[in-house]
Amino acid sequence: MIKRLLPSLAALALLAVVGRAAEPRSLTIGLVAKSQGNPVFQAARVGAQDAAKELGAKYHLNIKIDWRTPNEEDAQKQAEAIEQLVLAGADGISVSCSDANKLTDAINSAVKNGVPVATFDSDAPASLRFVTYGVDDIECGKQVMLELAKIMDGKGVVAILAGNQNAPNLQKRVAGVKEEAAKYPGIAIRDTYFHKETPQDAAAKVEQVMQANPEITGWAMIGGWPLFTENALKWQPGTVKCVAVDALPAQLAYIRSGHVPVLLAQQCYEWGHRTVELLVDKIVFKKDPPAVKEISALIPVTKDNVDAFGKNWAKWLPK
Amino acid sequence: MLSRLRSAFRFQESGLLLVIFALGALLTLFSGTVRTPVFATAPDGSRERVFMTNAAGERLPAVAERNKFLNAQNFAQLAKDTSFIAIMAVGMSLVIISGGIDLSVGAIYALASVLGAIALNHFGPDGPGASTSPWIGVMLGTLTCVGIATLCGLVNGSLIVALRVHPFIITLGTMAILRGIAFVVTKGQSIGGFPPAFREIVRFEVGNGLSLVPLAVMIIVTIAGGLYLARLAAGRRVYAIGGNELASRFSGIRVERVKLGVYLLSGFTAGIAALLSLGYYGAATSGDGQGYELNVIAAAVVGGASLTGGKGTALGAVLGALVIQMISSGIIILGIDQNYSQIIIGTVVIAAVVLDNFNTWLARRRLTQRAT
């Protein structure tokens, strides 16, 4: 009896082994952005999820994106999220650092525990992260000022809208704007204006500054915050020039209305997509990127390409 | 023995403990397992990963499988994450028991952090005082951080007592002022680079890489807060003025002095939390502790403190913080979409208050029945 059953049992065991071998390998990648409410990070999340689907199908993997982002910017909460992700068994982590100093230990601890970490948008340069992906913030600030200087014909009074004063990447962009502005003797920087990074706070700040300083003829916005609301720029198109970083759907209306001649789009969808690609290469194929710093270019969006660019958002925003 | 403990800490937190055990059991059951690398202590004291050679001769890192929730590392992490809010919640519970509120604890935490960070940075490896004994740096940094926070608490208390303005308004104002000062002082820059000795104390690890210093400090603060409230006359006065300020005044309690004391202690606990954060995370910015006041108040309220005053305990505040943190960590451990965490935590806060009210109503009813 046993002898008769043996071949069947062997076949069953083989099937079980084959079945197990055919099961896709599971990977969990933690995604820790700076804040929940900012649409650029929602685009990064969609990018990560899309990359998980694409790479999962391509390499026969079951990739889960574990989104662990504080509601508002809080580096301590980010560090806690990284530590918790490691304990929960994440295979890799992608993070945009609100405070590089505060996150360095958490990143190093994750790496020492065998969890590779990639950073995007805002780096922790002293940490053991194996790659960082995003714009060069100094260059970003310079490019904002360069575009603004072009449309202002190299003369006028410029205000810098700068978001959260604690964010190291924004501080670098401000430095870039000032460095570039120094090349134009006809341009004077009125001041740098910080604000809470909500569209309403940013729009209110622009309005207050314009009322107090009507001589301002140009705005260098190193983030697009006020343009996420409607009617934030209360002047006739062309009277005050404006260049802003990012090109979210709400911002595109300002290109069409003529209030903002140039938007410089960060590749925020790619923040998630590309870092997941890099992490999968690292975790599955033990492959390191060619360089630790991978720079993503800013894409200028003007009246000429606004409609074509706008179509991307149908794919990039959460459904 | 148990009855002594019960009276020492006004052991009315049995309900909260039950919730914590139930949550723990649920998380243990449903969290699943995780494979984590195995570490060993090297001869120089550092932690090193353990490698094994398989049948094919490949050298692979050794891994151990364990329950995602029920393991020492997770408990140490949970305790550490809870400690910052819990320590402040002990101070906040004193304020709430006295019938007040302190909205400035997050800002005090930020200002104490950045000023403490500046002092510590001065004696850090790249600071001008690098050649001084690191212990002097640690001591001065600690004194600055905790001292500034205590001073802020004293300012809050003094303004509330002297101006006779509701603490909500005063602490709302100081919240903005203190955070503003923190920004002006730092110019928005993150300050790190502390003496390694300072960080080694706070991050001191035992066993398999467990950082237990935040837990130890949390326990000390809880015991001190519990004894103060339950055993000292000063603590009983806090309950008295929270229960009925006018009656307390007529019975000879110096209400102003008690109020001053609770805000000072609230600042002091914010300073301790800030100091731990400095040591653990190694940096501070003026944006630190943003919105923490609400988490701290929520922890105290979930822990049984009544916003109308006269009720609450130090242990309850810590357990309240633990419940909130367990839910927050549990959401990660169970892999639940993070977007639901706010909804779940908000629901728990409301449910805790409703349950507490129900409990009070039941107790009153029982007393009435006994009396009749």
Tens-place pLDDT, residues B15-37: 788 888 988 999 999 988 887 77
Query: For chain B, how big is the Rg over CA atoms in Å?
Result: 23
Residue written as token pair 């082994």: A17
**Rounded to 5 degrees, what are φ and ψ at B201?**
-65, -50
Q: Tell me: pLDDT of B73 over 90.
A: no
**Which residue in B83, B185, B210, B290 has the most chain A C-beta atoms within 10 A of its own C-beta, making it the best mutation to test that interface?**
B290
As to burial, measured by CB atoms within 10 angstroms (0-12 exposed, 13-18 middle, 19+ buried), residue B273 is: buried
Closest CB from B81, B189, B287 relative to A164: B287
What are A13's two structure tokens?
Answer: 């065991």
Q: Which fold has domain A8-134+268-295?
A: Rossmann fold (3.40.50)
Contact residues, A window 38-77, toward B, CB-based 8 Å cutoff: 64, 66-69, 71-76
Please give the C-alpha separations between residue B268 and each of B51, B206, B262, in angstroms, as whole numbers.
46, 28, 10
Q: Tell me: pLDDT of A73 over 60.
A: yes
As to burial, measured by CB atoms within 10 angstroms (0-12 exposed, 13-18 middle, 19+ buried), residue B250 is: exposed
Closest CB from A68, A76, A85 relative to B277: A76
Contacts of B333 in chain A (CB under 8 A): 84, 87-88
Q: Tell me: pLDDT of A10 over 70.
A: no
Q: Which residue has the higher pLDDT, B315 or B335?
A: B315
Residues sharing a CB contact under 8 Å with residue A18, sequence separation 6 or more, in sequence order: none
Fold match, A8-134+268-295 / A137-265: yes
For chain B, the first-to-last Cα distance in angstroms comes to 33
Gap between the Cα atoms of B215 and B84, Å rounded? 9
Run of H or E including A95: strand A92-95
Q: What is the CATH number of the domain that holds B142?
A: 1.10.3470
Q: Which fold has domain A137-265?
A: Rossmann fold (3.40.50)
Position B342 scores a pLDDT of 78
Q: Tell me: pLDDT of B7 over 70.
A: no
Query: For chain A, how big is the Rg over CA atoms in Å?
Result: 23
Inter-chain residue contact B338 with A104, CB threshold 8 Å? no
As beta bridge partners, residue B206 has: B210
Instruction: Identify the band that residue A256 occupies on the pLDDT scale cut at 50, 70 and 90.
Output: very high
Gap between the Cα atoms of A87 and B73, Å rounded? 7
CB pairs below 8 Å between A and B: how many? 103
The overall average pLDDT reported for chain A is 89
Amino acid at B97: I
Q: Tell me: pLDDT of A204 over 80.
A: yes
Q: How far is A256 from chain B (nearest CA, A)?
A: 34
Contact residues, A window 148-187, toward B, CB-based 8 Å cutoff: 164-166, 168, 171
Q: How many CB atoms lie within 10 A of CB B47?
A: 13
Contact residues, A window 234-293, toward B, CB-based 8 Å cutoff: none
| Domain total in chain B | 1
Position A1 scores a pLDDT of 47
- Per residue, what are the HEC states of chain B? CHHHHHHHCCCCCHHHHHHHHHHHHHHHHHCCEEEEECEEECCCCCEEECEEECCCCCEEECEEEEECCCCHHHHHHHHHHHHHHHHHHHHHHHHHHCCCCCCCHHHHHHHHHHHHHHHHHHCCCCCCCCCCCHHHHHHHHHHHHHHHHHHHHHHHHHHHHHHCCCHHHHHHHHHHHHHHHHHHHHCCCCECCCCHHHHHHHCCEECCCEECHHHHHHHHHHHHHHHHHHHCHHHHHHHHHHHCHHHHHHCCCCHHHHHHHHHHHHHHHHHHHHHHHHHHHCCECCCCCCCHHHHHHHHHHHCCCCCCCCCCCHHHHHHHHHHHHHHHHHHHHCCCCHHHHHHHHHHHHHHHHHHHHHHHHHHHHHHHHHHC
B74 lies in some domain: no
Percentage above 90 pLDDT, chain A: 68
Over residues B359-371, mean pLDDT: 80
**Which of A226-240, A253-267, B42-56 shows the lowest per-residue confidence on average (mean pLDDT)?**
B42-56
Gap between the Cα atoms of A113 and A313, Å rounded? 37
Q: Which residue has the higher pLDDT, B94 or A18?
A: B94
Over residues B265-274, mean pLDDT: 97
Closest CB from B61, B291, B333 relative to A88: B333
Which domain covers residue B357, as residue numbers? 83-363
- CB of A113 within 8 Å of any CB in chain B? yes
- Per residue, what are the HEC states of B271-296? HHHHHHHHHHHCCECCCCCCCHHHHH
As beta bridge partners, residue B40 has: B48
> Are residues B353 and B301 in contact, defined by beta-carbon separation less than 8 angstroms?
yes
Gap between the Cα atoms of A105 and B184, Å rounded? 27
Gap between the Cα atoms of B139 and B122, Å rounded? 12
Q: How many CB atoms lie within 10 A of CB A158?
A: 25
Q: Which residue has the higher pLDDT, B1 or A106?
A: A106
**Which residue in A102, A171, A286 has the most chain B C-beta atoms within 10 A of its own C-beta, making it the best mutation to test that interface?**
A102
Instruction: Identify the band that residue B41 occupies on the pLDDT scale cut at 50, 70 and 90.
Output: confident
Q: Tell me: pLDDT of B334 over 90.
A: no
The overall average pLDDT reported for chain B is 88
Inter-chain residue contact A71 with B342, CB threshold 8 Å? yes
B58 lies in some domain: no
> Are residues A38 and A197 in contact, defined by beta-carbon separation less than 8 angstroms?
yes
Residue whose C-alpha is closest to residue A230's, from A208, A253, A209: A253
Task: DSSP letter for A164, please.
Answer: -
| Strand, helix or coil for residue A23 | coil
For chain A, the maximum distance between any two Cα atoms, rounded to a whole number of angstroms, is 98
Residue whose C-alpha is closest to residue B149's, from B121, B186, B107: B107
Find the length of chain B: 372
- Per residue in B113-162, pLDDT tens? 999 999 999 999 888 988 888 889 999 999 999 999 999 999 999 999 99
**Which residue in B66, B84, B285 has the most chain A C-beta atoms within 10 A of its own C-beta, making it the best mutation to test that interface?**
B285
| Strand, helix or coil for residue A234 | coil
**Rounded to 5 degrees, what are φ and ψ at B171?**
-75, -25
Interface of B with A (CB under 8 A): 34-37, 47, 49, 61, 68, 71, 73-74, 77, 81, 84, 183, 187-192, 203, 277, 280-288, 290-291, 329, 332-333, 335, 337-339, 342
**Which of B92-101, B124-133, B218-227 shows the lowest per-residue confidence on average (mean pLDDT)?**
B124-133
pTM of the entire predicted model:
0.78
Q: Tell me: pLDDT of B363 over 80.
A: no
Position A15 scores a pLDDT of 46
Percentage above 70 pLDDT, chain B: 95
